[in-house]
Amino acid sequence: MTNKLRAAIVGSTGYGGVELIRLLASHPLVEVTSVISSSSAGTPITEGYPHLTNIRTELLDDVNPQEIREKADVVFTATPAGIASKLAPQLLDAGLKVIDLSGDFRLQDTALYEEWYKKEPADKAYLEQAVYGMSEVYGDKVRGASFISNPGCYVTATVLGLVPALQAGWIDPSSIIIDAKSGVSGAGRGASLGTHYSELNENFKAYKLNKHQHIPEIEMVLSDAAGREVVTTFTTHLVPMTRGIMSTMYATVQGGRKAADFIDLYRSYYEGRPFVRVRGEGKWPMTKEVWGSNYCDIGFAVDERTGRVTVISVIDNLVKGAAGQAIQNLNLMMGWDETLGLQFVPVYP
């Protein structure tokens, strides 16, 4: 046990934090040595999460960079936006590796961050150090890095479904429409009318039309893939379920490509990357098929009547959309096999 990498988790009482605890519990090379929560420091983590009974028995630590440094080698910051922007620099200065799951270090353009997040951006000096950890797209940059900005959940499902086609020039970058749907856990554990059971069950709703803070992050990655500025229409919906994101994406096909062509292209693009699974023709993934796992499953339909491709991409928002990809990035940072601690089967049914 002494040879394991020591990890601390800031924000352990949020859904992202508690999912990191779940996943890291079976990582062969990592040991979680500190679970941290500024709001619940000093209380047992099992008070808020009795499912951890007999699994984690310690009290929650407070946020103290020096004490974290003594206990840990790497820190996952799973905090709300606006907190990591201040905390991550202190942790980095203390000599820790940092993987940030908040949105604070995703947008290099600070004006864009202020516009969409309505918060003060992080210090430019630290922002520039952050490597954007979309594992299958920017894996080469993640290898060896010591500061990772982990992507947003909607962003992950979406860009994994669009990047290969955009990079290949197979779809018109100006035609992209993204209709995304998420389970409720994406909204976090905070109690509000927006997360109230009686309001959400037997209900389907749209929210934040054209205003979701993941829009600039999506366009940042898509523009990079297309080699030109990409602007998208992006709608988010809430599904009466706890976990899962589906991104249904529409674009105009160029060059008369068929579904089979897209399948070949994507399988080739993701070759050797075990967490992206491209389905065969006439098959589209459902969110439950990746439930609890780090997979992103993708399917295609091309309609000759309209000349459009429909791409269906699904992830578990708390795994590939948050804690799982964070661990995948840690594996890449450390030069380990990227599947370490993540090789489990989706829970079905």
- What string of DSSP letters covers 23-86? HHTT-TTEEEEEEE-TTTTTSBHHHH-GGGTTT--SBPBP--HHHHHHH-SEEEE---TTTHHH
* Cis bond before residue 173 (omega within 30° of 0): no
Residues 167-206 that bind a copy of itself (CB under 8 A): 177, 179, 181, 183-185, 189, 191-193, 195-206
**Which is nearer to a copy of itself, 1 or 191 (by Cβ)?**
191
Please tell me whether residue 283 binds a copy of itself under the rule CB under 8 A: yes
C-beta of 231: minimal distance to a copy of itself in Å?
Answer: 5
One-letter amino acid identity for 222?
L
Catalytic annotation present for 296: no
Residues 74-93 that bind a copy of itself (CB under 8 A): none
Residues for the chain: how many in total? 349
**Which is nearer to a copy of itself, 120 or 204 (by Cβ)?**
204
Query: Contact with a copy of itself (CB under 8 A): which of 39, 93, 144, 209?
Result: 209
Please tell me whether residue 39 binds a copy of itself under the rule CB under 8 A: no
Which of the stretches 15-23, 149-157, 160-168, 332-340 binds a copy of itself when contact is defined by CB under 8 A? 15-23
Query: Contact with a copy of itself (CB under 8 A): which of 29, 41, 241, 340?
Result: 241
Q: What residues have CB less than 8 Å from 208, skipping those under 6 apart?
A: 236
One-letter amino acid identity for 231?
V
Rounded distance between C-alpha atoms, residue 280 and residue 282, angstroms: 6
**Which is nearer to a copy of itself, 278 or 333 (by Cβ)?**
278
Please tell me whether residue 339 binds a copy of itself under the rule CB under 8 A: no
Residue 67 tokens, joined: 């004490």
**Which is nearer to a copy of itself, 96 or 309 (by Cβ)?**
309
**Which is nearer to a copy of itself, 146 or 235 (by Cβ)?**
235
Rounded distance between C-alpha atoms, residue 296 and residue 262, angstroms: 16
Q: Determine which one of 21, 153, 178, 230 is catalytic.
A: 153
What is the three-class DSSP state of 171? Answer: strand
**Which is nearer to a copy of itself, 22 or 106 (by Cβ)?**
22
Query: Contact with a copy of itself (CB under 8 A): which of 70, 109, 114, 303?
Result: 303
Query: Contact with a copy of itself (CB under 8 A): which of 89, 121, 152, 292?
Result: 292
Residues 251-270 that bind a copy of itself (CB under 8 A): none
Rounded distance between C-alpha atoms, residue 17 and residue 7, angstroms: 12
Residues 308-337 that bind a copy of itself (CB under 8 A): 308, 310, 312, 314
Residue 118 tokens, joined: 């309505």
C-beta of 268: minimal distance to a copy of itself in Å?
Answer: 15
- With CB under 8 A as the rule, give the number of residues binding a copy of itself: 82
Contact 112, 300 (CB under 8 A): no
How many other C-beta atoms can be found within 10 angstroms of the C-beta atom of residue 26?
Answer: 12
Q: Which residues pair with 277 in a beta bridge?
A: 297
Contact 250, 177 (CB under 8 A): yes
**Residues carrying an active site annotation:** 153
